[in-house]
Amino acid sequence: MTEQPRRAAIYARISLDKSDDELGVTRQQDEARGLCEAREYVVVGTYTDNSISATNGKRRPQYLELLGAVQRAEVDVIVCYHLSRLWRNRRERAEGIDLMQRHRVSLLPVKGTEFDLSSAYGRAMAGLVGEFDTMESEVKSERQRSQIKQAADAGRAHTGGTRCYGFDRTYRVEPDRKGKPKTVAVESVNDDEAAIIEECTKRLLGGESLISVVRDLNARAVPTVKGGQWRTITLRSLMCSARISGRREHTPTDTWKGKASRPVCGEITGDGGPEIISPRDSDKLRALLTNPARRTSPREARKTMLSGLLTCSRCGRPMVSRPRAGVPRYVCTDAPGHGSCGRTAIHGERTDAEVRDRVRHALSSRELTERLARRSDAEPDLVATIRDDERELELLAEDRGTGEITRAEWKAARTPIVARIESARRRLAQATQTTALEGFVGTGTQMRERWESMNVAQRRAVVLAVVESVTVGPPTPPGNRFDPARLEVIWR
């Protein structure tokens, strides 16, 4: 009886294919196919993952297809160029060896010996060789992190990966210390993108929300660095980057590994290239956009100007927008759990117009503009105070985690630090709110024209720059008539 030829599946993978021409995986396939012909195997499938790393557990579609073929008992042997092409990750390797043991599938590397995974010796050897592959990746990663840290400490800009928005990258060849040619990346400011960054800086420091700015950028078809649409997380990362202020920052992996996510802001290590915005504005943005109290849930941009800014005179609770029969209104909601009386309502559009007119009138007075000018001069050490106190909280948490202090000691030490941070953030927010008035204040005609060109979030930012709150009094008879006297504006 003639023995059936073994069914072989070929797997090829390369971690990074910069040119995307698949020449690397094609070479692997050709050598694997030559080995199959020499051994008279029948190739039942070829699986290729081009430009996908196997180190970090990233999803490899063709590898998953290969595992499916193993589970369906369609494969007797997997042929790959080297075992590291199949696995670099310990977890994937252990799961793969277990699956192939159960289905009696062996591994045959082109560069190496066959592993019979049905035997203890074969599994042990595959695990041992694979562990050296993993170690090779980890040592390379450690070496690269050390190099990045050294460059960060020296203030040299990181020029790997995708270029940073706001900068162009060019390359030139120059001799190294030994006189050999070396390619060096040089960054310069991209004027068009820098103008967008400067605009976003003014709007965000002026109190406009991230989602509002993002929607506007997408509506104007302003592309990201990769040509796509903006998202709040993309804009937040860009505006928190120290790079746009000509500085270098570094976030060591060991400071956040095991946590939910990488921190948006790293440790500033020095100057690192051309700047688009000032370091002072950058520090303000970093403090503002990393404030834990900032609303970050995925909601739509605001549709009403005064929602949450109006206060009910009866119960002192904020009023919200609640249209009725298509008529915009601000109401003191009676929803359970809000502690509101639900007895106050006022016409939305007329209230917006009345507050708008009072704000424009107030901005034409010398007294208010002088007070705002004094407030815009923020304490220079506010950002540093916030950063230092946040670091104190981290150290305190580490002491609590290691058992050096008790829970009671931790709470006692934490309370005043949190109070200082909140106070500094409030003072910083008050100082930066006046940014919304830049380019708005002028003659009555100019302010009217500029107001009409603004979106809701921008108008709200202007109002917040000068108004602390607006108290809405009870209705005066007859109840359906709008009475401006019900509005009491409390100026900042």
Whole-angstrom distance, CA of residue 12 vs CA of residue 326: 62
Chain centre to alpha carbon of residue 491 = 35
Tokens 């990181």 belong to which residue? 158
Tokens 């630090």 belong to which residue? 417
CB atoms near residue 403 (< 10 Å): 7
Whole-angstrom distance, CA of residue 394 vs CA of residue 259: 13
**Residue 437 contacts residue 465 (beta carbons within 8 Å):** yes
Predicted local confidence at residue 462, as pLDDT: 84
Question: Within a 13 Å sphere around the CA of 168, how many CA atoms are in the beta-carbon half?
Answer: 8
Task: Cite the beta strand spans of 154-286 per DSSP E.
Answer: 167-175, 181-189, 245-250, 267-275
Which of 408, 418, 413, 384 is closest to 396 using CA atoms? 413
Tell me: cis bond preceding 292? Omega within 30 of 0 counts: no
Predicted local confidence at residue 193, as pLDDT: 93
**Residue 85 contacts residue 11 (beta carbons within 8 Å):** yes
Instruction: Tell me how many degrees the CA angle 425-428-432 measures, rounded to the nearest 5.
Output: 135
268 phi/psi in degrees, rounded to 5: -75, 125
Q: Which two tokens stand for residue 39?
A: 């051994």
Residue-wise burial string across 428-459, b where 16 or more C-beta atoms lie within 10 A, e elsewhere: bbbbbbbbbbeebbeeeeebeebeeebbbbbb
Query: Which SS3 state, helix, strand or coil, does residue 233 take?
Result: helix
Q: What is the dihedral of CA 80, 81, 86, 87, to 10 degrees?
A: 140
Q: Which two tokens stand for residue 380?
A: 């220079």
Whole-angstrom distance, CA of residue 245 vs CA of residue 238: 11
CB atoms near residue 116 (< 10 Å): 19
Dump the DSSP string for 15-40.
Answer: S--TT---HHHHHHHHHHHHHHHHTT
**Residue 254 contacts residue 276 (beta carbons within 8 Å):** no
Q: Which two tokens stand for residue 461?
A: 């930012």
Predicted local confidence at residue 185, as pLDDT: 72
313 phi/psi in degrees, rounded to 5: -70, -20
Q: First and final CA of the chain: distance in angstroms? A: 96
Q: Is 43 left (phi over 0), alpha (psi -120 to 50) or beta?
A: beta
Per-residue pLDDT 10s for the chain (492 aa) are: 457 889 999 999 998 877 778 888 999 999 999 999 999 999 999 999 998 887 777 889 999 999 999 999 999 999 999 998 998 888 899 999 999 999 999 999 998 889 999 899 999 999 899 888 888 887 887 776 676 666 655 555 555 567 889 988 887 777 777 777 777 777 888 999 999 999 999 888 877 888 888 988 999 999 998 888 999 889 998 998 888 888 877 666 555 555 555 666 666 666 667 889 988 888 888 877 877 666 554 455 567 888 888 999 989 899 988 888 888 999 998 877 777 888 889 999 999 999 999 988 888 777 776 666 665 555 556 666 777 777 787 788 778 778 888 888 888 888 888 787 777 766 665 555 556 676 677 777 878 888 888 888 888 888 888 888 899 998 877 666 788 999 999 887
Question: Within a 13 Å sphere around the CA of 131, how many CA atoms are in the beta-carbon half?
Answer: 6
Predicted local confidence at residue 298, as pLDDT: 47
Whole-angstrom distance, CA of residue 212 vs CA of residue 458: 8
Query: Which SS3 state, helix, strand or coil, does residue 311 take?
Result: strand
Task: Cite the beta strand spans of 384-438 per DSSP E.
Answer: none
Burial of 155 (0-12, 13-18, 19+ CB in 10 A): middle
**Residue 212 contacts residue 240 (beta carbons within 8 Å):** no
Tokens 């929300």 belong to which residue? 209
Task: Cite the beta strand spans of 197-294 per DSSP E.
Answer: 245-250, 267-275
246 phi/psi in degrees, rounded to 5: 75, 25
